[in-house]
A and B are shown apart, each in its own frame.
Chain A
Amino acid sequence: MVENSATAAVKTKEMIKTPSGFNIIWRELMRDKLALISLICLIGIAAFVYGVSLVLDQEEIVRVDLFAIYQSPGEDFILGTDYGGRDVFGQLIIGTKNSLSIAIIVTLMTGFIGVVFGLVAGYFGGHIDNMLMRILDFFNILPFTMIVIAFVAIVPTYSVLTFSIIMAAFLWMGIARLIRSKALQEKELDYIQAARTLGTSNFKIIFKHLLPNCSSLIIVTMTLNLAANIGLESGLSFLGFGFPEDTPSLGTLLSYARNPQTLEYRWWIWVPASVLILILMLCINNVGQALKRATDARQRRG
């Protein structure tokens, strides 16, 4: 367990600076070659898509070209074209960028809501906890698909950001639950009790003592969530509630496979996106698992 509470900052993003925790994580990561390769791979892909999409002309890529419909991969188009004659490779790059952005935004937002919610509920306990948990339960019973479809129909502009907000609003419960139970355990420990007796304000205790001690759990959970959030929109695209096509995403490319002809004969449209999702998820997952091992002595490898 990470037992240091020295100088953690308030923001979740900076929690990683908790020295010894960070060191252990780093050491474990360096030791775990697979995780390291995954991390490098991940950074590489991210740098590539964000870099290249700066240069790429999105307008040009989503432009319909009647004379280039369903071209197979070749000289003109590295990965062929879709039914609108649009370059699949370009869409793949921008799509990966968008899907990554969604995953990151959703993860950060759910992380933020979940951590604050969980810490408050866990730390105060009693009635506050009870009330907050009922709210959480309520969100849990919401039929996710139905709500999201309804919101998609209602929001006037449907973009990466609005989509992420809608998603985040209904996906924060898992992490909140985790953090709460961790906080419940922690607050019984001596150092919190001591801080209380000293008259430290609740706010200070939560963010200066409790939060840093949950940091490793938060990082691990968020990393694993990030993996799950890649391709979040693919299911919705499949049901016909995906992004408009001038916002390419991996999910949109993937959902082209619902046309059986595309599934069978035009692999270049959906297979690269599937493989990319697979790689991204595996990479993030590998990193996440390594982090998890790092923070859990019993699972740590030699």
Chain B
Amino acid sequence: MRKTNLMKLLFALMLSVLLVLAACSKDSSSDPKGNDTKTEGNAGKDKEKDKGEILFSQDDFEMTTSNSGEPIGGTLNFGLVSDSVFEGTLNWNFYDGDPDSQVIKWFDESLLDMDANFTYTQDGAATFKTEPYETEEYPNGVTIEFTIRDNVNWHDGEPVKAEDWAYSFEVIGHPEYTGVRYGPDFSDIVGMDEYHAGKADTISGIEIVDEKTLKVTYKQSNPSLLTGGIWPYAMPKHIFKDIPVAKMAESDAVRKNPIGMGPYKVESIVAGESVVYSKNADYWRGEPALDKVVLKVVNPKTVVQELETGGVDMINAFPGDQFVDNADMSNVEFLANIDLYYAYIGFKLGTWDAEKKRVKMDPNAKMADVNLRKAMAHAVDTDSIGKKFYNGLRWKATTLIPPSHPEYHDADNPGLVYDPELAKKILDDAGYKDVDGDGFREDPNGEQLVINYAGQSGSDVAEPMAKYFIQAWENVGLKVQLLDGRLHEFNTFYDRVGQSGEDDPAVDVYGGGWGVGSDVNPYGLYGPDQMFNFPRYESEKNSELLAKGVSMEAFDVEYRKQVYKEWQQLMTEEVPVFPTLYALELVPVNKRVVNYTLDRNVNSLYEVGVTQEEPFKAEKKKK
């Protein structure tokens, strides 16, 4: 009896060991990865090259696949990285999540192309010319005349007509429209307000000249119009015309058998999971290089294995935190481009006045002193954060216009550099001194100063990073604590920061991030009457510069650059927020794939091909 008891224990232990072994038989291979990549020695800890010291930068990556070979048709497997399903609202006019846009882009596209600076060009499916529109009501209006190319057709063979484009405007502007796309881009069209309010049956500013020509008149001409301010997507009127606007988003024409004008046609959809596309031989730019594309949702937890086994050839975005361990994956090439994104730390300077619909700055706010804000910016070592937490895949940000907009990003502006001594000095000079000797500074009136920091949970590094910020501020003598002692999940976080205008007064400082649009104009985030102006900041100079940036003069790119340069400098001086990190987007592509590029101004999706039937598989990692 006793023997068997012991046996039982032994067995239990054995099994657990087995389980553990099964789970980590690869552990032993955790030698430093990416020996061929740049490494940066660290004086103190040179004995071990651990992963924290492998650094990458944009220079390590190409934007376009470097594989050569002739495309042979075949099937490309595309992984949509998401831990949930795609919603299946497969129409540009109705979708609102990124997963859906990844599905749509294979079968439908914009009528207007953009160049590297996100300005519309004449190379797309439609060309345009502008003429001034001057009436008493709108002295600075503009009419844009679009001409759709003759060979641009829907997948069912119908030509893409002016009325299809006009129809998009009519649907989005319709009082019963259920999507989120309606906004200033639409209400700036002459007659749109009346139409949206249900007072007019047509939009007076939109005119269908002939089958392929459309004229749209905007109330106010400004440079933003040509950098993403025009709705460039048509919708097939002959399919949608009998569906009530309120029911369109749930109709089969959106969910089950959508059509578009892009290089591939939707063949079949498994709701939320996968889509099979076939070649649209009639595509206006030329015949697509693949016979088929299969798109499937891939969980970020398994994306590496899918890539290694050739289950997918490429994906929309690679989870950055998994890169370092997989930088040497032998069957793919990693491409990268600068993301349209910056992370930042914001200071609450006031509240939102719901009546007047504008920000209300509070001169008595805890963070109202610019010196305090500056010192806090100087206190954090964003360079190290980028290197240590992101292996250089994110790096120190300097200004509020990221380098993804190369023309407008002011590379000469160093931003607020890491200098804790300077931070201490600024605080000393501004009267923030430790009066009671507890190791923390008091405010100039000698009152206790405790700053509440709100951070967002979600990513693995969120918590250590928040901790790091707080420690950095502690190092210059400021007492900062996590709001409620924890990070907040997305919804709670933005609720308290003020996405609905009800700012939580307990929040003093917060860590956020913005994806920036193609248009460089930052008004939507920093304009005094913008809800998303979370710091609730306004100043005369700011308003003036933001207005100048979209003025008639700003059609001159040099002038506009100068304005935004000044604005970036102003933000560095007034510090309503300070940027912390810029990011790279990473896309691994199987080595059989040719002609794929992350370059945003090239519309070459149809040229993407594969050079052999079977994807390359990763070699077993060396022990």
Contact = CB atoms under 8 A, between A and B. Distances in A.
Direct touch of chains A and B (CB < 8 A): yes
Interface of A: 32-34, 37, 62-64, 66-72, 74, 83-86, 153, 156-158, 240-241, 244-246, 256, 258-261, 263-267, 271, 274-275, 278-279, 282, 301-302
Sorting the interface of chain B by its residue count into under 10, 10 to 19, 20 to 34 or 35 or more gives 35 or more
Interface in B461-476: 461, 463-465, 467-468, 471
Given A67-B44, A84-B467, A244-B485, A33 B2 contact: yes
A34 B4 CA distance: 10
Given A70-B52, A267-B23, A282-B12, A244 B487 contact: yes
7 contacts: A34-B6, A37-B9, A67-B45, A84-B463, A245-B463, A260-B305, A261-B325
B459 to A, nearest CB: 10
B37 interface: no
B39 to A, nearest CB: 15
Contacts of A71: 48, 50
Interface of B: 1-2, 5-6, 8-9, 12, 16, 20, 23-24, 26-27, 29-30, 42, 44-45, 48, 50-52, 301-302, 304-305, 321-322, 325-326, 384-385, 388-389, 457-458, 460-461, 463-465, 467-468, 471, 482, 484-487, 489, 491-492
Contacts of B304: 260-261
Given A34-B9, A265-B30, A69 B51 contact: yes
B460 to A, nearest CB: 6
B499 to A, nearest CB: 16
A245 B459 CA distance: 13
Contacts of B23: 263, 267, 271
A33 B50 contact: no
Contact of A63 (B29, B42, B471): B471
Nearest to A245: B463
B509 to A, nearest CB: 17
Contacts of B302: 260
Contacts of B45: 67-68
A274 B27 CA distance: 16
Nearest to B303: A260
B321 A66 contact: no
A264 B457 CA distance: 24
A111 B263 CA distance: 64
B485 A157 contact: yes
Nearest to A149: B489
Contacts of A156: 484
A235 B451 CA distance: 33
A265 B9 contact: no
Contact of A66 (B51, B305, B384): B384
A260 B458 contact: no
B388 A67 contact: yes
A34 B52 contact: no
In the A-B complex, the 7 residue pairs with the smallest Cβ-Cβ separation, listed nearest first, are: A84-B464, A244-B486, A69-B52, A267-B24, A64-B467, A66-B388, A34-B5
B489 A83 contact: no
A266 B5 contact: no
B50 A72 contact: yes
A246 B485 contact: yes
Given A265-B27, A266-B30, A64 B457 contact: no
Contacts of B384: 66
Contact of A274 (B20, B29, B321): B20
A256 B471 CA distance: 23
A124 B384 CA distance: 68
B431 to A, nearest CB: 30
B463 A244 contact: yes
A264 B42 contact: no
Given A67-B44, A70-B52, A153 B301 contact: no
Nearest to A80: B50
A69 B388 contact: yes
Given A33-B2, A64-B464, A66-B384, A258 B30 contact: no
B464 A267 contact: no
A241 B384 CA distance: 29
Contact of B457 (A157, A240, A258, A265): A240
Contacts of B16: 275, 278-279
A244 B484 CA distance: 10
Contacts of A241: 489
Nearest to A257: B23
B262 to A, nearest CB: 33
Contacts of B465: 64
B27 A260 contact: no
A85 B464 CA distance: 8
Contact of B467 (A33, A62, A70, A263): A62
Given A62-B467, A66-B468, A275-B20, A158 B460 contact: no
Nearest to B324: A261
A69 B321 CA distance: 13
Contacts of B5: 32-34
Nearest to B33: A265
Contacts of B52: 66-70, 85
A241 to B, nearest CB: 8
A241 B468 CA distance: 22
A53 B105 CA distance: 55
B225 to A, nearest CB: 41
Contacts of A267: 20, 23-24, 27
Contacts of B471: 63-64
Contact of A259 (B321, B326, B468, B491): B321
A77 to B, nearest CB: 11
Contacts of B2: 33
Contacts of A279: 16
Given A63-B467, A71-B50, A278-B16, A265 B388 contact: no
Nearest to A154: B492
Contacts of B467: 62-64, 84, 245-246
Given A244-B486, A275-B16, A259 B30 contact: no
B6 A83 contact: no
A157 B486 CA distance: 8
Contacts of A261: 304, 321-322, 325-326
B403 to A, nearest CB: 24
B381 to A, nearest CB: 8
A67 B42 contact: yes
A301 B8 CA distance: 15
Contacts of A34: 5-6, 8-9
Given A83-B460, A86-B464, 17 more contacts: A33-B5, A34-B5, A64-B465, A64-B468, A66-B52, A67-B45, A69-B51, A83-B464, A85-B464, A157-B484, A158-B485, A244-B482, A258-B301, A266-B30, A267-B27, A271-B23, A271-B24
A234 to B, nearest CB: 15
A153 B496 CA distance: 13
B580 to A, nearest CB: 14
Nearest to A156: B484
Contacts of B301: 258-260
B34 to A, nearest CB: 13
